[in-house]
Structure 1
Amino acid sequence: MKSTTVYSQPDCPPCEVVKKFLAHHKITYQEIDITKNKRERERLINEYKAYSTPTIIIDEEIVKGFDLTKLANILNIEE
């Protein structure tokens, strides 16, 4: 199984949809709340060049924003 990390923050509707999508497809993931973890927020910006949530890291691939089609393709999910 691919390693999946979701960078999110409270009151982010697209973050909730992405998490529900992953849960629906039984994809386990680590969630990082960037409002509670300054080090990870800096990593999101500096390493991944992402400035918004959700940002999803799947192994070495980065999905910035709300793109369920790209997520499904990377995770080999057929809808």
Structure 2
Amino acid sequence: MNSITIYTTTRCPYCVMLKNFLTNQNIPFKEVNVEKNPEIMQKLVQTTGQMGVPQSEVNGKWIVGYDPTAIMHALN
């Protein structure tokens, strides 16, 4: 069973693209909006060193940005 959590903000176009991509591939995911939870944003920065979104945790592997190829690779 794959585990995908994507960290997003409300107005991020790449976040929308990523959610659409996963939905179109019938890949279930959990979304965490970091605008509503600044503590999680701090955790992301400490974990990945990156401020930007989307960030995805796929089966324990971090992928920063809109990168469908890396996500599919991490799922296989």
TM (norm. structure 2) is 0.90
Aligned residue-pair number: 76
Q: Which residue of 2 aligns with 1:62?
A: 62
Q: Which residue of 1 aligns with 2:71?
A: 71
Q: Identity, % of aligned pairs?
A: 28
Q: Which residue of 1 aligns with 2:38?
A: 38
Matched residue SS, 2:56? strand
Q: Which residue of 2 aligns with 1:25?
A: 25
Q: Structure 2: which 5+ residue stretches go unaligned?
A: none
Superposition deviation, residue 49 in structure 1: 2.0
Supply the distance in 1 between the matched residues of 2:25 and 2:75 (Cα, whole angstroms): 10
Deviations 1:24-65 (A, max 9, x none): 111111111111001211111112322100000012111101
- Once superposed, which parts of structure 1, at least 4 consecutive aligned residues long, lie more than 4 Å away? none
Amino acid at match of 2:64: K
Matched residue SS, 2:6? strand
Q: Which residue of 2 aligns with 1:49?
A: 49
- 8 Å contact from structure 2 (residues 59, 75) kept in 1: no
Alpha-carbon RMSD: 1.1
Superposition deviation, residue 21 in structure 1: 0.7
Matched residue SS, 2:2? coil
Structure whose residues are more often helix by fraction:
2
Supply the distance in 2 between the matched residues of 1:28 and 1:36 (Cα, whole angstroms): 22
